[in-house]
Amino acid sequence: MGDRFDRLGVRHANVEALLRRPGIGHNNGPTFDMSWEAWVWRRATAKAWKTPNPEVAKMRVRRAERMGITYRELTAALMNTGAHLGSAVLPLSLAARVRRGPKGEIVVEPRNSVAALVGKFGGRLFLLGDIDAVPALGEAERADFLALINRAFDGKVEAIGWGHDGPAIRALLRANAVSHQEAFLVGAGMGHQVLGETAGLPFTKDIDTWFS
């Protein structure tokens, strides 16, 4: 009877993993890679994150504070792209509510918490106007929209682009002579994370941690 019982056929899939788990004394850490490639990577990483001279460190800290990001985010972007961050792209839907007034006029209602963050920002700020987040605008209304939005944000917005995807962000930055490697996206949620990656931006900063 025992020989006819298919033990492997009824064995749960997790059993194999349990049978292969480390023995007593293992700390469940990653496998220690002794390869040449791993050694080179560890050495390069240590060199890259070596504390720079005080003047450079202070300059980076001040820039990070103006951008509302961390020193590590700023440095990681610099190491990955070789470019200095100086700009941010903010979706209009996060910055303000746009609607039609009783006479058909465009009304911009800035979100108070975001307006306060924008007031702290010390770089070049661009808005991405998702066409689904605003009422249908004519050509003249689009031309006047930047001035309208800047009345709500004290002139901090340099330009606004229209679209809802990565190419729209790239076009917005290119039109203002900004490399996509020099800008980051301020967003909320996985959708904006994907949007930033599609645009090729160094990273997306969650708005809840911007200037936190």
pLDDT tens string 134-147: 778 888 888 899 99
Residue 88 pLDDT: 98
Residue 18 pLDDT: 53
What pTM does this model have?
Answer: 0.77
Q: How far apart are the C-alpha atoms of 132 and 126, rounded to whole Å?
A: 18
Per residue, the 3-state secondary structure of the chain, as one string, reads CCCCCCHHHHCCHHHHHHHCCCCCCCCCCCCCCCCHHHHHHHHHHHHHCCCCCHHHHHHHHHHHHHHCCCHHHHHHHHHHHCCCCCEEEEEHHHHEEEEECCCCCEEEEECHHHHHHHHHCCCEEEEEECCCCCCCCCHHHHHHHHHHHHHHCCCCEEEEEECCCHHHHHHHHHHCCCCHHHEEEEECCHHHHHHHHHHCCCCEEEHHHCCC
Q: How far apart are the C-alpha atoms of 89 and 74, rounded to whole Å?
A: 16
Residue 15 pLDDT: 52
Residue 114 pLDDT: 93
Residue 137 pLDDT: 82
Domains of the chain: 83-209 (3.40.50.1000)
Residue 5 pLDDT: 46
Residue 16 pLDDT: 54
Closest CA to 91 of 176, 207, 2, 4: 207
Q: Which residues of the chain have pLDDT under 50?
A: 1-2, 5
